[in-house]
Amino acid sequence: MTAHFNSSRTSTKHQRGFSLLEVMFSIVIMTVGLVSLLAVMGIAMASTQTSEQTAIAKRLANEALESILTARETAQIQWSQIANGNCVVGQACGIFLSGAQPINLPGVDGIIGTSDDAAAGAQVLEQPGPTGVFAGACPPDICYSLTNFTRTIAITPFALAGGGTDPTLNSITITVTYTTPQLHVPQNYILNTVISQYR
């Protein structure tokens, strides 16, 4: 006598799904990953805006330096006037304002950082609009207010290594201070150079 086994009856394997604990653990891992990704995106956006603000600060510092150099090259002002306005009776007086100043257009003299700039009004950064061409008006151009920027122009006689100063050289330090909307921490862009009395 032979035994016959029914082929439809096979050994059953126990199948099981995910437990509630495993599902919860997976959700926690995904949540941590997504929050980290959002944080990285936020940092990237803040860095992009900070680099844009730094580029504007660099432009404002270079603009002030070029104004001073042009005034010297064209003999528009005397060498003794390329100084901060700390006047001493009986001596020539510098025309550049001391301390942090708002970003204004150059005044009647055309030189940035002098007392007549306030009358010229605030400077606005203008970028081309959707057409990519400057229209000369906002809108269609995109205009940015520079109220979160200040500029300090410090001019001192050039100090010699052995002591004393060189009367034919001036050290110029232009500091542009700005804050970014995200960080609200003052940042500085500093431009240092030396200029000569001789053109």
Q: Which amino acid is at 123?
A: Q
Per-residue model confidence (pLDDT) at position 122: 87
The rounded distance, in Å, linking the Cα atoms of 142 and 161 is 48
On whether the CB atoms of residues 84 and 96 are closer than 8 A, the answer is yes
Rg, C-alpha atoms of the chain: 33
Per-residue model confidence (pLDDT) at position 107: 87
On whether the CB atoms of residues 177 and 134 are closer than 8 A, the answer is no
Residue 102: asked if its preceding bond is cis (omega within 30°), the reply is no
**Coil, strand or helix at 122:** strand
Predicted confidence (pLDDT) at residue 131 exceeds the cutoff of 80: no
Torsional class of 110: left (φ above 0), alpha (ψ -120 to 50), beta (otherwise): left
On whether the CB atoms of residues 62 and 196 are closer than 8 A, the answer is no
Query: How much is the average pLDDT of 161-183?
Result: 85
**Coil, strand or helix at 178:** strand
Q: Give me the chain's average pLDDT, please.
A: 81
> 95 pLDDT band (50/70/90 cuts)?
confident
The rounded distance, in Å, linking the Cα atoms of 180 and 32 is 28
Candidate from 10-14, 52-56, 109-113, 195-199 with smallest mean pLDDT: 10-14
Predicted confidence (pLDDT) at residue 153 exceeds the cutoff of 60: yes
DSSP 181: T
